[in-house]
Each structure stands twice: as structure tokens, then as C-alpha cells.
């Protein structure tokens, strides 16, 4: 049955109104629908899409180590001159991370161990792992530091006796491979064990024996119960507080670096990153907006207040122990088996001059030595990371130790700095670009076309109705004119008859 002209006009109006309404409604509701879908799909579970990416980090991570070689150790010992440093490297390793022993908990958290493995990359290395580096004898510095911290004259005398027997020196020359992963034997370690001092390792190396091992159990929020805590660390090694730190600096906060809560609306909010190796949560500040592989991201960085120890913000004074260190470095002794280690930016960038003024050969450069993370704000995924930190060892002064040449005042020796860098691959970038950029564009275009088509249909319907209304009076006038003519003809006929 064919529709009448009026019914067709009404149908066009209905279609036009529907398309216009749906276009506007979809445009307004799409961000909420997208957020709901993203949150539903990001919740960590064995069935979730991001699970495999979370379990085994899919992008290559490159760890680059730069060692400081002291070229004038004899003059330092004999004449108390400034150590002269020459940077060596980078010595590059490809790092992989895999989460094992994954346990899901009903309270919306998951526990796991993360196994790290390092594979040497000769083609990306300047030099060889057999290069010799001269720097501080860390086991010796650790023994001296423990003796001084004990405050026990008897213990210090015992350390002094060990040094006389061991014939150890404050500086050692070792291969890069030994300083990193393979470790080296040190006489003082064996001597300390013989007299009953608890030594946690048989050899010393900064990452010995960490290759193919984990750094403890993590428990993080999956987003199931509270999406604002998505990815945040709840427990580390079963604890929510860090030993060796004063409150509130002993609180574990931030994520482990894999992801952050999505839809980050406030870009100025600090980006919190828990780093187990330094027993601290780093707080990164917003820097600017960047584009990585055509993906818009927020760049965060560790600014000059990152290791301020209370100089810039009083609340950071809880990082101090017996006394506050000069700003620009953080004491990590409790994380390094009692070694007097501190962490800073490479070449003491942004640090107090007391650190760099006692060394020759340091050249801090913000472009080369800053710590940055580029975060995609809609999904909370880091798409580019350049984490750069420096490990230093403090050599104290102690007049009670006679069998070792110690400096007249405490000196912080840079040992090495490292960069851990990773960027998403093109395949992952295309997926992110589709969800965060292309899909919203497609929806916006679709909504615009829907509204435009709806308006066009409404205009056509109105035009059709107006034409119809205009045609209707004309037909009536023609009909009336014909009727008048017919009546006149009829009257004329009557008159003639």
C-alpha cells in the first residue's frame, strides 16, 4: 500500500529527527561509553586482553651502563688531589621481564614475582666487557661504613685488624663483566666470614647474582575493586611499609611502572613510580605534551626536587637518617646490604655542588641525563621511557682506622650511571592509535554525518510540506474559476433560450 504524500512527509521528519538526535547523543555519550569499555577491558585477569602484554613485556628494554674510571688514584692517595673521572661505555644489555608465580586474590589484587634477564648486545656497546675500570672497592667501603655506623670502638678495631690482614686498598681495578653480573672475589669478604661477620654474598658485583632472578613478591591492584588504584603496588615482599625509612617516606605508593590508571584528566598530578631497587617511590612532575609514533602523550620527568631531602619540601626530610644529605642524592644503604650507596642523577645533575666540586670530569647535561616517562593518558600506558640514574658510594673519614687511606672528609664517588629505555613497537602503536585517536575521530565524523543527514532530511521534509501547502490553494482557485465559468455559460444558455 503506497503512502500518501502527508505520511511520507511525517516519515521524513521522524527519520531526520532520529538521525539528528542519535548523532548528538552519540557524540555526547561516546567518551563515557569508551571509558566504560576501556575500564572493562583493562581490568587484569587471565582472560583480559592486556594480560599477555603485562605478563611478558613485549617491547625490548635496553639497559646501558656507563662506568667512571678514576685515572689518578695514586695521586689521590698520596697528595689528596681531586679524583679525575673518565666515562666509559655504554655497555648495553637487552633486558626482558616476565611475571611468574601469579596468584589472584578475591580482594581485587594479584601477586607475582618478576624475573629479569639481561643479554649482552655487543653491537650496541662501546668497548668490551673485559674493559678494566678503576674505582672504589665497594666491599671494603661497606665494611668500614658498618664499623662507623655501629659506633662500637671494638667493632671498628676488628675492621681495622681485618684490613691489616687482608691488605685491601680503597680502590680496585676490575673488569666490567665482574663489576656488573659475574662478580669478583674480595679478600675482605672471606676474612669477614672467618671471624663471624654476616656477609650476604660470596662475591661482589652490582647485579650479582640478579641475572635471571626476581626482586621479591609484588602485590598490585587489578582494577577490579577500585580502578583509581589500577596498577598501584599494595604490598612488596608482603609489607606495605619499607624498612629503613622514616614515616611517611616508608609508605609504598605508585605503580611498578607497567601501567597507570587510565583517563588521566589532571595532567599536573604527580606520576608515582615505586622502584624496589632504591626502596623508594619516585614522583615525576608534568613537563609538556609530546607525540611518539603519532600518539599524543604527557611527558613526566624527575625534576630538581626529586632527591631534595627536605631542601625544597619539608616533608621529604623523612628521607634523612642521622642527618640530612645535601640535596640531589638519596641514601639507599638499606637496599644494598649495608653498602654506603646513594642514588642521584647522572653526573650529579641538579645536585648540590658539594658532590661535583670534589671531582674532575663530570659534565651534567639535562638532555642526556634526565629521567622521563611519556604516558598515554587515555589508557595509562607508558609509550616511551628513559630512566636514568647514577649509583655512587660514600667514602667516610674515620681516624680510628689506621690501615686504610681514607679521605680527610666524606667524598661521594660516582661508580656508574645507567639508562633503561623502551618504546612501544609499531604494532602496539597502531593499536593504541586506533583506540585513542582514530576511533574517536571515526565516531565524531559519524556523529557529524548523522546530524548533517538528519538536518538535510528535515529541510527536505519542510520543503516538501511547504510546496504541498503552496500547491493546495492554487488548485482550489482553478476549481473555483472553472466553476464560475461553468455557471456563466449556463446562465448565457438560459438567456438565449
How many Cβ atoms are within 10 Å of 187's Cβ, its own excluded? 15
Which residues, including other chains, have CB under 8 Å from residue 431's CB and lie 6 or more apart? none
pLDDT value, residue 132? 97
pLDDT value, residue 214? 92
Q: How many whole angstroms separate alpha carbon 333 and alpha carbon 144? A: 13
Beta-bridged to residue 264, according to DSSP, are none
pLDDT value, residue 494? 53
Find the Cα–Cα–Cα–Cα dihedral 248, 420, 413, 134, rounded to 10°.
150
Which residues, including other chains, have CB under 8 Å from residue 291's CB and lie 6 or more apart? 297
Q: How many whole angstroms separate alpha carbon 327 and alpha carbon 492? A: 119
**3-state DSSP assignment of residue 293:** coil
Task: Give percent helix, percent strand, percent coil of the chain, each to the nearest 5.
Answer: 40, 30, 35
pLDDT value, residue 497? 52
**Beta strand pairing call for 329-331 and 381-395:** unpaired
Beta-bridged to residue 118, according to DSSP, are 95
Residues of the chain falling short of pLDDT 70: 1-6, 8, 30, 35, 150-155, 165-166, 192-200, 322, 398-400, 402-403, 438-439, 471-497
Report yes or no: 423 and 383 within 8 Å, Cβ to Cβ: yes
Going from the C-alpha of 214 to that of each of 102, 242, 277, 306, 419, the distances in angstroms are 13, 18, 11, 26, 20
**Short-list 396, 337, 400, 338, CA closest to 156:** 400
Q: How many whole angstroms separate alpha carbon 105 and alpha carbon 356? A: 48
**Short-list 415, 419, 416, CA closest to 387:** 419
Q: How many whole angstroms separate alpha carbon 141 and alpha carbon 341? A: 10
Beta strands in 311-380 (DSSP E): 329-331, 341-344, 372-376
Amino acid at each position: 500500500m503506497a503512502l500518501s504524500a502527508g505520511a511520507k512527509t511525517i516519515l521524513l521528519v521522524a527519520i531526520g529527527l532520529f538521525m539528528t538526535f542519535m548523532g548528538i547523543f552519540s557524540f555526547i555519550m561516546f567518551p563515557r561509553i569508551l571509558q566504560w569499555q576501556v575500564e572493562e577491558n583493562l581490568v587484569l585477569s587471565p582472560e583480559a586482553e592486556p594480560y599477555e602484554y603485562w605478563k611478558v613485556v613485549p617491547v625490548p628494554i635496553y639497559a646501558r651502563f656507563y662506568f667512571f674510571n678514576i685515572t689518578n688514584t695514586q695521586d689521590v692517595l698520596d697528595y689528596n688531589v681531586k679524583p679525575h673521572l673518565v666515562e666509559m661505555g655504554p655497555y648495553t644489555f637487552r633486558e626482558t621481564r616476565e611475571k611468574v608465580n601469579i596468584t589472584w586474590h578475591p580482594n581485587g589484587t594479584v601477586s607475582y614475582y618478576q624475573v629479569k634477564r639481561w643479554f649482552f648486545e655487543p653491537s650496541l656497546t662501546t668497548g668490551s666487557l673485559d674493559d678494566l675500570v678503576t674505582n672504589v672497592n665497594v666491599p671494603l667501603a661497606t665494611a668500614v661504613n658498618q664499623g662507623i655506623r655501629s659506633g662500637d670502638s671494638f667493632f671498628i678495631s676488628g675492621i681495622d685488624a681485618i684490613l691489616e690482614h687482608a691488605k685491601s686498598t680503597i680502590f680496585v681495578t676490575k673488569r666490567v663483566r665482574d663489576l656488573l653480573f659475574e662478580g669478583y672475589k674480595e679478600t675482605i669478604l672471606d676474612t669477614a666470614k672467618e671471624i663471624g661477620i654476616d656477609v650476604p654474598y660470596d662475591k661482589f658485583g652490582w647485579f650479582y647474582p640478579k641475572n635471571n632472578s626476581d626482586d621479591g613478591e609484588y602485590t598490585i591492584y587489578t582494577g577490579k575493586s577500585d580502578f583509581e588504584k589500577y596498577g598501584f603496588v599494595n604490598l612488596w615482599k608482603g609489607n606495605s611499609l619499607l624498612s629503613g625509612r622514616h614515616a611517611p617516606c616508608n609508605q609504598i605508593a605508585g605503580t611498578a611502572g607497567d601501567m597507570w590508571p587510565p583517563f588521566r584528566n589532571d595532567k599536573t598530578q604527580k606520576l608515582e613510580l615505586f622502584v624496589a631497587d632504591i626502596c623508594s617511590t619516585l614522583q615525576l612532575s608534568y613537563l609538556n605534551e609530546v607525540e611518539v609514533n603519532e600518539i599524543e602523550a604527557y611527558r613526566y620527568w624527575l625534576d630538581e626536587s626529586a632527591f631534595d631531602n627536605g631542601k625544597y619540601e619539608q616533608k621529604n626530610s623523612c628521607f634523612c637518617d642521622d642527618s640530612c644529605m645535601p640535596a640531589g642524592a638519596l641514601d639507599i644503604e638499606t637496599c644494598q646490604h649495608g653498602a654506603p650507596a646513594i642514588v642521584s642523577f647522572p653526573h650529579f645533575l641538579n645536585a648540590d655542588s658539594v658532590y661535583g666540586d670534589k671531582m674532575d670530569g663530570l659534565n651534567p647535561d639535562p638532555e642526556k641525563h634526565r629521567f622521563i616517562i611519556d604516558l598515554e593518558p587515555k589508557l595509562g600506558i607508558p609509550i616511551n621511557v628513559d630512566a636514568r640514574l647514577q649509583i655512587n658510594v660514600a667514602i667516610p673519614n674515620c681516624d680510628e682506622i689506621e690501615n686504610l687511606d681514607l679521605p680527610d672528609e666524606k667524598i661521594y664517588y660516582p661508580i656508574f650511571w645507567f639508562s633503561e629505555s623502551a618504546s612501544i613497537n609499531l604494532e602496539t602503536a597502531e593499536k593504541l592509535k586506533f583506540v585513542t585517536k582514530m576511533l574517536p575521530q571515526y565516531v565524531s565524523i559519524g556523529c557529524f554525518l548523522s546530524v548533517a543527514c538528519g538536518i538535510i532530511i528535515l529541510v527536505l521534509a519542510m520543503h516538501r510540506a511547504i510546496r504541498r501547502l503552496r500547491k493546495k490553494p492554487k488548485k482550489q482557485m482553478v476549481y473555483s474559476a472553472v466553476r464560475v465559468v461553468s455557471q456563466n455559460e449556463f446562465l448565457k444558455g438560459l438567456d438565449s433560450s
